[in-house]
Amino acid sequence: MTAAALAANLEAWCGGSGAMAQEQAPALPPCGGKVIAQGAARHVIDANTFTLDDDREVRLAAIEVPPLGAGAAPGGAAAKAALDALIGGDAVVLRSADIATDRYGRVVAYVSAVRDGEEIFAQGEMLAAGFARAGDRVDSRACAAELFRREDAARQAKLGLWANSYYQVLAAEAPADVLAQRGRFALVQGKVVSVHESGATIYVNFGRRWSEDFSVTVQKRNERNFAAAGLDVKALAGRLVRVRGVIEQRGLRGSPSIEAQRPEQIETADLDNDRVTQQ
């Protein structure tokens, strides 16, 4: 779906929602806490950053988008245009994320455009149209489930970024291909061969050659957070999983790895199909 098509769909949806709005209160977005700001989206900077009319910069929580600039990953300009179509010039409502600001001082929030009294969840629409991927930091299981659902539908339909092979889900059984993407955010999927502990780290291994194959690392101090979210890291052996995060190079021989700091980074899959749901 192009940014122009997305804008047309939004206009049609908002234009036809008036009667329904009179019958029932608008549903709140599935993500975010209390309202922390309201205003107008004055200027869209890139696909997940904009300025409010009070000059504050806002970054959309919980999604990953391609950056702009020469040599950047493909799709950045189209993704920016999509966000502009969603919120540019509109009244917006900001709801709190689990961090208030990023290292650049930008407000981090879940954002909804307000049109004719209806809220349009910006992160959800960007994911549904394929212009973003769910990130590796999401505030709640309910929010993560909603974001993954929208992302999965766009991926299955090859919308937006998903039409480009650059964004394909990487196969864990091809560690050289995974390692080639080191330093970038990616999704990796495969069957877990084993799980073992060493010192303060739990290693989720996707191959038997620990020094070469892809793995996911979880610090033992974070294990209780995974358990509280219903994810038993040590029981992942034999499961098909999808993990998201930044690809790192681990060890002297440079095996590819992702550090999972939060449970929403790991999804478990039904082995009979490619539909993934969080455990």
Report the alpha-carbon distance of residue 110 to residue 180 in Å, rounded.
32
Report CA dihedral (263, 265, 269, 275) to the nearest 10 degrees: 130
Residue whose pair of structure tokens reads 């480009």 in the numeric block: 164
Structure confidence by residue, pLDDT tens digits, 46-83: 999 999 999 999 999 999 999 998 677 899 999 999 99
pLDDT for 277 equals 41
pLDDT for 250 equals 85
Within 8 A by CB and 6+ apart from 111, the residues are: 58, 60, 87, 92, 93, 94, 95, 121, 122, 123
Within 8 A by CB and 6+ apart from 108, the residues are: 58, 59, 61, 97, 99, 100, 101, 102
- Could you write out the DSSP letters of every residue in 180-238? TTTTSEEEEEEE--EEEEETTEEEEESSS-TTTS-EEEEEGGGHHHHHHTT--GGG-TT
Q: How confident is the model at residue 14 (pLDDT cuts 50, 70, 90)?
A: very low
Quickly count: other Cβ atoms within 10 Å of residue 125's Cβ: 23
Residues forming beta bridges with residue 121, ordered by sequence position: 112
Instruction: Point out the least confidently predicted range of 14-23, 47-56, 85-94, 228-237.
Output: 14-23
Predicted TM-score (pTM) of the model is 0.86
Helix (H, G, I), strand (E, B) or coil at 8: helix
Alpha-carbon distances, residue 81 vs 58, 76, 78, 165 (angstroms): 17, 9, 5, 21
Residue ranges of domains in the chain, CATH in brackets? 3-148 (2.40.50.90), 169-277 (2.40.50.140)
Report the alpha-carbon distance of residue 92 to residue 35 in Å, rounded.
11
Report the alpha-carbon distance of residue 91 to residue 53 in Å, rounded.
10
Most confident of 27-41, 63-77, 201-215: 201-215
Q: How confident is the model at residue 279 (pLDDT cuts 50, 70, 90)?
A: very low
DSSP 25: P
pLDDT for 269 equals 61
> Is 103's pLDDT higher than 80?
yes
Query: What's the whole-number average pLDDT of the chain?
Result: 88
DSSP 263: G
Whether 125 and 6 have beta carbons less than 8 Å apart is answered as yes
